[in-house]
Amino acid sequence: MADESKTHEGHRERMRQRYLATGFDSFQDHEILEMILYNCYSRINTNNIAHRLLENFGSLSAVLEAPVDSLKAAGLSERVAVYLRMIPDIARVYLDDRNNSKDKIISLDNIGEYFVSKFIGRIDEHLILLLMDAKCKELFCGVVASGTSCGSDVPVRQIVDLAMRYNATNAAIAHNHPSGVALPSKTDVKTTNALHSTLAMVGIRLVDHIIVADNDYISLRESSLCSSLITGE
């Protein structure tokens, strides 16, 4: 047992040194997951667990984005499942902090790309509101609704209250389609036009509604589906 323990520790140390030398560039997905699991299992061979999880879920990103209940069904404890689910959320917070836009002018032509990173790791539907000043600098960005119908169930009053509180001039909303299809529904179009009209009554312009699916998105303004967004009226 002593020799086996030394071999186990020696393998982990070699993996750490390899990471320090090359980062994850030279690692396969199962090796990355194996190393992540080092923080959960001190004396277990995590290579086998990593292979099993990848076989069950299909890819590294699918493992990390799997619901906690699905990870538990695959044999993980709740503590380990929660730890893995935290990683995409940490990545999203990291990117938000690194790409903080509060001192930058947000390009309306690339606002879809701005929103995509806001949905990293989100497996349920969320509605995100972005408020900007007259120069399109960020004043506020945050989740204002979540659930299976948040794209159509837009909390108009909450959005108007926030926009007035931050003295916003421009606003944009985005929601995700966890199904993986970014196509807007008729309800998406209807609620967008209604929100545009309501915000216009208090002097705030809704500049776009972005629908995100995985790393893809559709802009309702660019798609010409919402006449109010095109004309700006």
13-70 pLDDT, tens digit each: 999 999 998 889 889 999 999 999 999 998 888 999 999 999 999 999 999 999 999 9
The model's pTM is: 0.73
Phi and psi angles of residue 181, each rounded to the nearest 5 degrees, phi first: -115, 120
Q: Name the residue with higher pLDDT: 163 or 95.
A: 163
DSSP string covering 129-168: EEEE-TT-BEEEEEEEEESTTTTTS--HHHHHHHHHHTT-
Partners of 131 in the beta sheet?
140, 171
Indicate the pLDDT class of residue 214, thresholds 50, 70 and 90: confident
What's the chain's average pLDDT?
87
* Residue 19: per-residue pLDDT: 92
If you average pLDDT over each of 4-8, 64-68, 120-124, 149-153, which comes out highest?
64-68
In the structure encoding, which two tokens stand for residue 136, read together? 């399109």
